[in-house]
Structure 1
Amino acid sequence: HVAGLVMFGILSPLLEGIGINAVIPLVSFFLGGGGAATDFVTRTIHTLFAFLHVPFTFRYLLVFIFGLFIARAISVVAFGYIKGWIGADFLGKESEDVLRRALLSSWSFSLKQKIGTMHNTLVRDVQQTGGLLGAVTQTIQSFSGFLVYLLVAMNISPVMTFYTIGGGAVLLFVLRPFVRHARRIGQQTAGVEKQFAQFLSEHIIGMKSIKAAGAEHAAIKNGTAHIRLLRHLSIRQGFVSTMSSSLFQPFAIVLVVLLFLLTYHAPGFNIISFGASLYLIQKIFTFYKRALALRQERRGVQTRP
């Protein structure tokens, strides 16, 4: 199934990239340019049409592009189904394994465990591990998509692609402090969550004793302190995440303007190719952004005590 994920993860962006690349000769036909082959992908499509004895015209090229995107939609559905199946199967087997190990553990080991911590391990930690598996499958899709879009973009305009890679590297370097800060917040949140789970378990079990001792207000005060701390950490986490993601769009706009200024006077500049390259560059930056989010999520899961 993982092999299927890799296959469909590559197939989907590959079909979309070829379809976007094929738009260049399509628009050239529309503008009366004849759809002349100017790059490797376009020449390959032209060769395929010649091999199948299909006229390389606007009408047939439009049908070809439409077919590519239909095939891409099917591959996206297949990828989503396999991803969901793997996630559900993993959660089921992992939950059974952790429950079996907990119930069959030695008495001396069980005496040392806190009920809230065990509950969090059996429920929340298993869910978080499933989230980590989801992050891994998403990483497969993101990496394969990034690689395919990168190759197609280089086929259209190598210069613009290299500038984009350099700009993305600079942006990721700028965002490193946000990633480290998010990781520290994730560690604090994990610790507070387990403390709160232990607090709830102890006070639910000892509810009668608390009422008999008249300690309700003290319990409420302690519980409120945990809740407010979790609220504070959640707000900080959301702020850091929003700050890091908000930098992508203005940075991308600045990069597009710079790319236009750098390539406009270059020999062989083509506004159609430039537009197609911008779409692929936008896709590349989407994967940059997704990779940053996955990195934060994966580290948040791995640092849970």
Structure 2
Amino acid sequence: MSLNTFQKIKYIFVLSKDLIGPYKSGLILTILLGFLNGLAGSIGIGVVIPLFSLFSNVAVEGTDFITRNVAWSFSFLHIPLTPAFLIAFMVALFALKALTQFFSKYNTEKLVARLEEDLRKDLFEKTLKADWPSLMEQKTGYLERVLLFDISNAASLLNQVSSSILIATSFIAYAFVAFKISSTVTLMTMGFGGILFFLFKPLFFKTRKISEEISATFKEVAHHVGENIIGAKIVKATSTEDRVISKGLHYFDKLRRARIKMSFYTYSLGQSLEPTGIAFVGLLFIFTYRTPEFNIAAFGVVVYLIQKMFSFIQSAQSQMQGFNGLIPYLESTAEYKTIAKNSVEVNRGTDDFEFNKSLEFKGIEFSYPRSGEILKNLNFSIQKGEVVGIIGPSGVGKTTVVDLLLRLLEPDGGQILLDGKNILKIDLKAWRNNIGYVPQDIFLLNDTIENNVKFYDETVTHEEIIKAIKMASIYDFVSELPDRFQTVVGERGIELSGGQRQRIVLARALARNPKILVLDEATSSVDTESEALIQKAISGLKGRVTILVIAHRLSTITNADKLMVLEEGRIIEEGRPEELLKNKSSHFYKAYHIKD
């Protein structure tokens, strides 16, 4: 939707208010420096008028603003009005101009750097502390794109605002001095500049649209590249590299064409102003040189000031183009910030974690927005120290049970009770610190085995790491590695086998000394030997840790204290595995002997 200039400025202001509001004091300093910069520059060049008069042997006492005030200032300070002192005064003014400009730009860069850091810290923290449903909606590469690119461009808005302030204050100062020297010429110049601004207005709209296209395409590229690098093994195994590359090349070509169009509009605007300005100055000369009050020095200064004012108008147009280009990134950052702010995980619990008797799912109901009801009046209990297995077809809610237990999701109805207390009353951090979790999809850092077991927890000692690795039945393997615990596992653990990766993740969970251990299909993608080692680890924990095992491989849970069959969102069968195997009509018996 096209916005008029006023609406656009108002829109940018509303959008950016929350982002740059905390940096008002820095912007006020920029305003003061901008006025000082403009006055120093405009008066500095204005000194040419009395200087020209001295060199021309013309009486210095003139009627123009600059000459009168310079003569009065020198007289008041008892400084001789000589060429040497005038030149020194002019150099001092331009030195002041350079100094104020330096501090203005330096101050702005500091503000931009602070804004970038604050935004990145805020969004990264809010994202990691968002609730799980929001995180599930995240596209691969989107957060990286926002943190590294969109925020950088959105923070540049502060630079644009600061530059605009510097341009506006300098323009006002130059216009004031020019107006005092020749009000007619100055008013004509400002009127002409305003006409040019509106003539080029359609170009601003085009550049904004192109910027929106570039921003959207960058996100698509980040998602496409990130998604296919993660799935590179499948891409290569299915020989689809060329199709993946072709789609990527389409995005790259789209970016190239958008950049060329952006350059065309930007440079055509910029390069057209100089000849337009020269033509305008020529017309001014023809219009004024026959008038009685014409002064070549004054005209020269006014022309210089006009040239500066034209450059300010050109800069203002560039700033407006810059604003147009930054709006998509500002919108993206503001939108992400709002979503992250509204998605922060709520911790309603304050009680400590205490587990002495049982964990119970009581009348649990749960639905996903897109797939409907998944759990229906789910009831089961686990006694402290038990090993309990859950089996069932895909899509019946086994992983949902895990997510509810991890408090990544909250039930729509019913309660999860720990020793009779609703777990939502327990402090969330305390709850998760006592839950060990081994997922089916392994997540390892591109770091050492030791750091993967510690997983950012510096309170875990080396002795605890050794103990956890022994409990996970992977100590012998680690001990035989040349770098032992300092062995780097590679990106996503690529240097290790699937079973080794899974046991490193199990050691990570055990190093936290959990009271409850959850294994979500942890043996579904490992070999028989690795499965046997994981079973050995589970058997070693029996009675000491309460263990919930979600399994596809039935052999994993044959030694469990209790087995439950989940189907259509409820428990349809439960009992000891050996007893269920004796009952030929049981679901477990049929599933176990399906190969027969």
1:91–1:130 CA contact under 8 A, matched in 2? yes
Of 240, 254, 265, the residue aligned with 1:215 is: 240
Are 1:49 and 2:74 counterparts? yes
Provide the rounded CA distance (Å) in 2 between the counterparts of 1:274 and 1:44.
18
* 1:192 equivalenced with 2:217 (yes/no): yes
Further displaced range: 163-172 or 41-50: 41-50
How far has the Cα of 1:179 moved from its partner? 1.1
Q: Find out whether 1:242 has 2:290 as its counterpart.
A: no
Unaligned ranges ≥5, structure 1 = none
Deviates more, 1:112-121 or 1:286-295: 112-121
Alignment of 1:63-78 (within 5 A): 63-78=88-103
Q: Shift of residue 266 of structure 1?
A: 1.9
Name which of 173, 176, 184 aligns with 2:201.
176
- Identify the residue that residue 4 of structure 1 maps to in structure 2: 29
Contact 1:192 1:226 in 2 (8 A): yes
Q: Would you identify which runs of 4 or more consecutive aligned residues in structure 1 move more than 3 Å?
A: none
The alignment's C-alpha RMSD in Å is 1.3
Match of 1:161 in 2: 186
2:254 match: 229
Residue 18 of structure 1: aligned partner: 43
1:294 aligns with 2:319: yes
In structure 1, distance between residues paired with 2:85 and 2:278: 35
| Contact 1:37–1:43 (Cα < 8 Å) also in 2 | yes
Q: Identity across aligned pairs (percent)?
A: 32
Choose 67-76 or 159-168, whichever is displaced more: 67-76
2-side partners of 1:296 and 1:171: how far apart? 14
Question: In the alignment, does 2:128 pair up with 1:103?
Answer: yes
TM-score by length of 2: 0.50
1:85 to 104, 107, 110: 110
1:206 to 228, 231, 235: 231
CA shift for structure 1 position 222: 0.4
Q: Distance in 1 between matches of 2:274 and 2:244?
A: 47
How many residues are aligned here?
305
Return the letter of the residue paired with 1:188: E
The one-character-per-residue Cα deviations of 1:213-252 (angstroms, maximum 9, x if unpaired) are 1100100110000000100000010011111111101110
Where does structure 2 lack aligned partners over 5 or more consecutive residues? 1-25, 333-596
C-alpha deviation, 1:101, in angstroms = 1.0
> What is the aligned partner in structure 2 of residue 277 from structure 1?
302
AA at the equivalent of 2:50: P
Q: Is 2:203–2:265's contact at 8 Å kept on the other side of the alignment?
A: yes
The one-letter code sitting in structure 2 at the alignment partner of 1:55 is P
Give, in whole Å, the separation in 1 of the partners of 2:193 and 2:95.
31
**Is residue 38–residue 173 contact of structure 2 (8 Å, CA) maintained in 1?**
yes
Please list the CA deviations of residues 170-198 of structure 1 after superposition, one character each: whole Å capped at 9, or x if unmatched: 21121111111111111111111111111
**1:28 maps to which residue?**
53
1:161 Cα deviation from its structure 2 partner: 0.7
Q: Which amino acid aligns with 2:257?
A: H
Deviation, 1:205, is 0.5
**Structure 1 position 42, deviation (Å):** 2.2
- Are the counterparts in 2 of residues 37 and 46 from structure 1 also a CA contact under 8 Å? no
Q: Which moved more, 1:270-279 or 1:52-61?
A: 52-61
Correspondent of 2:276 among 251, 257, 260: 251
Higher share of residues assigned helix: 1
CA distance in 1, matches of 2:256, 2:30: 37
Q: In terms of mean alpha carbon deviation, does 148-157 or 32-41 score higher?
A: 32-41
